[in-house]
Structures are given as structure tokens and as C-alpha cells.
Amino acid sequence: RPERMGGMITGNHTPWTHFILVGFADHPELRRVLFVVFLFCYLFTLTGNFLLILLTVADAALHTPMYFFLRNLSFLEISYTSVTLPKILATLLSEKEDISFLGCATQMYFLLFLGGTECYLLAAMAYDRYVAICHPLRYPLLMNRRVYTGLAAASWLTNLLVLMGHVAAIFTLPFCGSKEINHFFCDLPPVVKLACGDTHGTEIAILLVALFFVLLPFALILASYMRIITTILGMPSAEGRQKTFSTCSAHLLGVTLFYGAACAMYLKPKASHLPHGDKVFALLYSVVTPMLNPLIYSLRNKEVKEALRRLTQKVCSGTQGF
């Protein structure tokens, strides 16, 4: 007779102490190649985002609300990838696929916390662009230091305790049968699939959390960009329209990448299932987007390029002096 112990049910009266991540089990021959690929992604993400943080701190020309939000986003991306990629790399290198029960819960909490923070941070960035484009004369007043630091702080603090309770509720579910999580890390949907009994209430709670932390900020972003696009289309010159749109196109691309993958992962109908679809979408928002964000926000940004040029000149002149 199965017995419930510590949130898990087992048939031999032995409580589970760990899960097994089997996301790479289908292609064991690719482990070394994947290790190199993920290591490159991690190092590229760390380097690119650290460089953006350095530029926005060191260069006075980038001490604006937009780059304050970008600095927060870069720190968040470093944190986000550091929750998943080190464990993925360790699994690929050592072939040790188990993760402790507490380790899995901790990883899931930080994934959801940082993901929810990114949603609201992207909404704050969209509002900043809306004020800058639609109300340029009132921008210094509407986006003063107290406002933009408050928006950033709210983005970080909004989901701190809510998601802690949500994850705790998930890990008090009875787990039985297989310990194998068919994923690269402890993401929400594949872990809930291992729960026994009726998980209908949990699935409703997951949907409500997704609506609050994914769709609500997305609606705010959508409203901001509808006003932005209307304002841009009303500009008399084509050059003015192009120049103005270029200031928010990078953010729009970042939003599309992140939200497209997140919505596909958390808001898709239960009946719709693509082979390995969850893994692909998870990699998009947890690995690919953090890696590409430094490129997205800097390649077409003259201010960032100028700041990088000034920093390079300082470093070179300092080296020559030494």
C-alpha cells in the first residue's frame, strides 16, 4: 500500500530524496557537443550582460531611466541563466542526472521569481518608451528618479512571496511512480506531471499565476505600444518616424522573444503537445533570450556603441600609460 511521506508517495515506504532529470536521455551521444554549446551560451551571456552593466554604470551619458532598466534586465539575465545552466553543464559533464528534492524546489522558485520579474520589468521598460515618445516634454517629470527606481523595485518585489507560497504548495503534492523529470531543469509543467491524484486545483492555480505574471504585464506592454505606434504614425516626416521607432524596436524584439516562448510554455492548451516542445520553449526563454539580449539592445544603439568606444579608449590609454 502506498504511503505519503514528506509530500511524496512511495510503494516501499522509502521517501524520495531526489528527482532525476532525463532531458538529455534521448541523445547520450551528443552530451559532449551539448556541453560545449551550453558552455559557450553561458559565457557569452555572462560577458555580454556584465559588459552592458559596466557601460551603463561607468558612462555618465547612459545614466538615464532607459539604461537603468536595461542594467536591471542584464543583472536579471545573468541570474536567470545561473539558476539553470551550471546544473545543465554539471549534468552533461558528470552524467549525474539527479537533483535533490529541496534543490529542485529552490531551482523552480528562482526560475519563476526571475521570470515573473522579467515580465514586469519589460512592462516598466515599455512604459518608459511610451512616456519618452508620447509625452517627451513631460518625460523628466513623469519618469523622475523616484518613479523609475520605484517601478524597478516593484518589478522585483511583486512576486517574491506569492511565488514562494505557490512553489511550496506544489511540493506538498503527493508524488508517486516515476522520479524522472523529462526536462533539463525543474520547470513547473514537467514537475507537476509527476504528481499523483487530482491536480486540477493545482493546474488552475498555475493558470492564475501565469495570467498575473505573464498576461497582465503583457497587456500593459501592448497598451503602451499601441499608443507608441499611433504617435509614430502621426509624425509628419518619414525620417522622424524611422528614428523614433528605432529607439523602441530593440525592446519590442526582446519582448517578442521572451513572451512568445513563455506563453507557448505556460499558457498552451493541455491537449496540445509537441514532442520535446516544452524543452525547446524552455531553452528559448531561459538560454537563448538572455544570450541575445545584449546584442539586441546594443547592435543598433548608437549611445551604447559610443559608450563602448569611450570605455575602450580609456582602457587602451590606461594600458599605454602603465
Q: Which single residue is written with the C-alpha cell 506592454?
A: 221
Cite the beta strand spans of the chain per DSSP E: 3-5, 8-10, 18-21, 98-100, 180-181
CA dihedral 7, 10, 16, 18 (to 10 degrees): -100
CATH classification number, 15-321, choose in 3.90.1150.10, 1.20.1070.10, 2.70.98.60, 3.90.1170.50: 1.20.1070.10
DSSP class of residue 197 equals S
On whether the CB atoms of residues 23 and 278 are closer than 8 A, the answer is no
Tens digit of pLDDT per residue, the chain (322 long)?
Answer: 344 434 544 444 445 678 888 877 677 778 889 999 999 999 999 999 999 999 999 999 899 999 999 999 999 999 999 999 999 999 888 878 889 989 999 999 999 999 999 999 999 999 999 999 999 999 999 999 999 999 999 999 988 877 888 888 888 888 877 788 888 889 888 888 888 877 778 778 888 888 888 888 999 999 999 999 999 888 888 887 887 787 788 888 888 888 877 777 666 655 455 556 677 778 888 888 899 888 888 877 888 888 888 888 888 876 655 4
Let me know the angle formed at the C-alpha of 259 by 211 and 189, rounded to the nearest 5 degrees: 60
Beta partners for 175? 8, 195
Q: Where in the chain are the domains?
A: 15-321
